[in-house]
């Protein structure tokens, strides 16, 4: 199956002769935009400097109209096969972070996830807090520790205190987790495209630090994104009716012709023992982005509602995407109910949270009317510190 058809053309940054080049994934190849722009194949479409840059930011800043014309020219060029010198094999390519992330926001927009975490963290209270259905709850994360798929994840240390302990202690997290999310990347006004996001989370650190100001060091040590940014324009065929909302949001959060996206998502896990025995990764969760309660337009409208400016290269992540049945939860803390129901792996091992050597791979794809497109993968392996 072709994960990267001409209808998709996601953007990424890869290494060629030691330099960072912008490219688009096309079948098993990467179309080298740096090479093509240097050969004047984009003359009359945009300034070549947008495509010879070492990150997507100048293109993001150029705005929606330019994104459309660059994409059209890519499709036209690929349809008539430009020379071999403009392509490299995708399989062997070393990918870099596709953009310099400006600001990073992480939302909390899956109702099932919010309810699950409410039950786990505050068992004696109503799981959903009173503000949740009135606005997309979120927090500002740490843009500087966003890394590209494949980057090793060092187990973070932090301060934690279990309920049965009298005082906190400092040391490596004992409850290292993942969060399966999607993220969108903006220009200065519009949404450019989407990536997979793994919001690595140290639950023991989070549980002790999060009140009253929210997540902090339990989430700022690493966030992994997939290397290919799928243009929003390529996802139009997969737009679906948004989640029903009750109560109706306030007027500034009502968006005309709003949509959600039908994107299948999964989490794969392979332990070191499995890897050494040649056992393939096992899928531990399957869900879909259409489960999200708040839409991307509403999230953006909410962020802008106080007058703040968004910047080219801002990243907005959805929050963990959990479906209604336990096989569709997007984190270990939900899948194992804070460790009470460990997952059984094919190697005979059990997992409450991540162990050193575990490798997590998030995948996402869309399918409709014979059109298939992929988000590629968002991978990270836990290393001891």
Footprint of Mn ion (CB under 5 A): 106, 179, 199
Residue 365 exposure: Cα atoms within 13 Å on the Cβ side: 18
Decide if 252 is catalytic: no
Beta bridge pairs of residue 268: 283, 361
- Dihedral sign, Cα of residue 283, residue 288, residue 291, residue 294: positive
In DSSP notation, 88-157 reads EESTTPPEE-SS----EEEE---HHHHHHHHHHH-TTS-SS-TTTTTS--EEE--GGGEEETT--EEPPE
- Cα separation, 52 vs 13, in Å, equals 11
Nearer to Mn ion, 25 or 196 (CB): 196
Task: Work out the widest C-alpha separation in the chain, in whole angstroms.
Answer: 69
Catalytic residue, chosen from 34, 113, 243, 372, is: 113
Phi, psi of 86, deg, nearest 5: -95, 5
- Which residues share a beta bridge with 87? 31
CB-nearer residue toward Mn ion: 32 or 266: 266
Q: Is 299 helix (H, G, I), strand (E, B) or coil?
A: helix
Smallest gap from residue 106 Cβ to Mn ion (A) = 4
Residue 199 CB, nearest approach to Mn ion (Å): 3
| Of residues 63, 98, 114, 189, the one with CA closest to residue 378 | 98
Residue 23 CB, nearest distance to Mn ion (Å)? 29
CB 215 to Mn ion: min, Å: 8
Nearer to Mn ion, 10 or 218 (CB): 218
Question: Which residue's C-beta sits nearest to Mn ion?
Answer: 199
Cβ-contact 224, 149 below 8 angstroms: yes
Residue in this structure with the two tokens 């298939």, named with its chain if needed: 372
Which residue number, 145 or 347, has a Cβ lying nearer to Mn ion? 145
Strand partners, 266: 286, 363
Contact 49, 84 (CB under 8 A): no
Beta bridge mates, 372: 367
State the minimum distance, in angstroms, from the CB of residue 142 to Mn ion. Answer: 12
Nearest-approach distance from CB 244 to Mn ion, in angstroms: 24
Evaluate whether 368 touches 237 at the Cβ level (below 8 Å).
yes
Active site residues: 113
């Amino acid at each position: 199956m072709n994960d990267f058809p001409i209808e998709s053309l996601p953007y990424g940054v890869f290494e060629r002769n030691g330099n960072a080049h912008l490219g688009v994934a096309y079948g098993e190849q990467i179309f080298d935009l740096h090479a093509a722009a240097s050969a004047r194949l984009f003359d009359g479409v945009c300034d070549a400097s947008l495509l010879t840059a070492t990150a997507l930011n100048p293109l993001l800043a150029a705005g929606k109209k330019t994104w459309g014309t660059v994409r059209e020219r890519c499709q036209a060029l690929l349809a008539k096969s430009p020379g071999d010198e403009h392509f490299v094999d995708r399989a062997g390519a070393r990918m870099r972070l596709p953009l310099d992330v400006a600001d990073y926001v992480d939302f909390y927009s899956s109702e099932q996830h919010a309810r699950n975490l409410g039950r786990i963290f505050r068992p004696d209270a109503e799981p959903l807090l009173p503000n949740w259905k009135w606005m997309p709850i979120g927090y500002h994360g740490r843009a500087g520790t966003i890394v590209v798929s494949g980057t090793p994840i060092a187990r973070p240390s932090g301060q934690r205190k279990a309920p049965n302990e009298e005082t906190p202690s400092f040391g490596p997290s004992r409850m290292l987790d993942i969060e399966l999310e999607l993220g969108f990347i903006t220009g200065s006004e519009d949404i450019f495209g989407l990536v997979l996001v793994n919001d690595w989370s140290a639950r023991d650190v989070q549980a002790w630090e999060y009140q009253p100001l929210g997540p902090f060091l339990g989430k700022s040590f690493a966030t992994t994104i997939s290397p290919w940014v799928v243009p929003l324009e390529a996802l139009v065929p997969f737009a679906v009716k948004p989640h029903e909302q009750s109560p109706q949001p306030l007027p500034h959060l009502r968006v005309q012709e709003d949509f959600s996206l039908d994107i299948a998502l999964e989490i794969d896990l392979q332990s070191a023992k499995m890897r050494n025995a040649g056992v393939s990764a096992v899928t531990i969760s399957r869900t879909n982005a259409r489960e999200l309660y708040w839409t991307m337009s509403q999230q953006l409208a909410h962020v802008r509602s106080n007058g703040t400016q968004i910047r080219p290269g801002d990243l907005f992540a959805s929050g963990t995407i959990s479906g209604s049945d336990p096989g569709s939860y997007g984190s270990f803390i939900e899948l194992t109910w804070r460790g009470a129901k460990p997952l059984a792996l094919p190697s005979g091992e059990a997992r409450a949270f991540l162990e050193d050597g575990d490798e997590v791979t998030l995948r996402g794809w869309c399918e409709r009317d014979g059109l298939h497109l992929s988000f590629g993968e968002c991978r990270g392996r836990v290393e001891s510190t």
